[in-house]
Amino acid sequence: MSDAEQIYPLGLKVAGRLVVVVGGGPVAARRARSLVEAGARVRVVAPHAALAEFGIPVAAEVAEPTDGPGPAEVEWVRRDYRSGDLDGAWLVHTATGSAPVDRQVSDDAERARIFCVTAGDASVGTAWVPAVARTPLTDGGEVTVAVTAGRDPRRAQAIRDAVAAQLQSGALPLRRHRPRPTTSADEPGTHVEPPERLGRVWLVGGGPGDPGLITARGRSLLAQADVVIVDRLGPRALLGELSPDVEVIDVGKTSGNHPVPQHEINALLIQHAQAGRDVVRLKGGDPYVLGRGGEELAVCRAAGIEVEVVPGVTSAVSVPAAVGIPVTHRGVARGFSVLTGHDGAAEVPGGPDHTLVLLMGVTRLAEAAEALATADRPADTPAAVVEDGYGERQRVTVGTLANIAERAAAAGVRPPAVIVVGDVVRLSPAWRHQAR
């Protein structure tokens, strides 16, 4: 039977229990600190120790072991190891740098039926320390990843880091499946059915639709949600990665067609959160950029629901960038404004050197273009319409305020689309191609 087949993976609850660390070098100090953080009572046996360098508080320096310190400090037995130093221990780590000493510690632990980790030669010990990563979750719990790779700690660390990155990004399933346990006040230590609790709401900006452009936090929250209420322009490809028991509610709107009005969306957020479910409101772009995120935030707060806004990559900036149009550029445009195609475009100040970005403006493009043409912003100001940014039918149509509506109609432009007005349009490959 190989070494790997002889290992029974197990998590140990060491809080309040005595663990002995033999050795005072960096490896021993790291082990001691991890044990202190886990709540163990730690005894270090070594003539010299680098405890202070690792921020480990020492309760006392003694010549012989005592009953041991509390869990927040360590007891330092300042001398070489002796048989008997393991008395009362549940676990021992030895990292002295001396093979004979580590062997003696391991033999003493074997006789005392204490599991022993040996840093110098893993084959001598009876326990191994895995490479560990901890990922905190929104419900107050955490996922702990522990990886062993035989006698190759660097391989274990590399695998741990890769898995941890996937957990933090939300690429792996993080939803809780068991009810949240609570403790009865009348019967300490016993578990009872959880009382009714309010769920939480996250207003997540999903970016312009490309799954790779949602934030890591947004994707992590999506992986933990019980209910996802999604807009038409959110990154819908991520919905296929959700657990089958996640409820997905489509509230997508199209131009002139709002099957689920805003007040009903607000009611859905409150309804599911009050039922104890964690809700992700998955929106396109950023919740606060013409996304009605402020309204939904206010509604949740008024109902006493815990709510958080998770910013997203706004389409007002990212979609123009997808076709090579920067909203600002030194010597071309020093600022930009974002508005909807329904707003009073004629009231927007600035000339061709101030970029205008219009969202939801395709249906009223001719009207907006006519209103935007002013003495400061002449009719020959460049304009572009970018359809389905980052989507399968991404396309850009360029022209000027004088002819962009006509060109868009001839090309059959349809929503979703972002309109850009200003000299920055000249920087796009589409404009240069048209000039040729």
Give the residue numbers annotated as catalytic, written as ranges: 231, 253
CB 388 within 8 A of CB 417: yes
- Whose CA is closest to 396, among 368, 429, 367? 429
- Whose CA is closest to 138, among 320, 280, 313, 332? 280
CB 360 within 8 A of CB 257: no
- Report the alpha-carbon distance of residue 363 to residue 38 in Å, rounded: 61
- Report the alpha-carbon distance of residue 94 to residue 247 in Å, rounded: 51
Phi, psi of 337 (to 5 degrees): -125, 145
Phi, psi of 412 (to 5 degrees): 75, 35
- Report the alpha-carbon distance of residue 120 to residue 103 in Å, rounded: 10
Residue 294's SS3 state is: helix
What Rg do the C-alpha atoms of the chain give, in angstroms? 31
Strand-strand pairing, 182-183 and 191-192: antiparallel
**Amino acid in position 316:** A
The angle, 0 to 180 degrees and rounded to 10, between the axes of the packed helices 216-224 and 153-169 is 80
Length of the chain: 436
- Whose CA is closest to 203, among 127, 113, 266? 266
Query: What are the strands of the beta sheet with 354-359, ordered from one edge?
Result: 335-340, 354-359, 417-421, 382-387, 395-400
Residue 356's SS3 state is: strand
CB 75 within 8 A of CB 59: yes
Name the token pair of 25: 């070098």
Instruction: Give, as one character, the DSSP assignment of residue 130.
Output: P
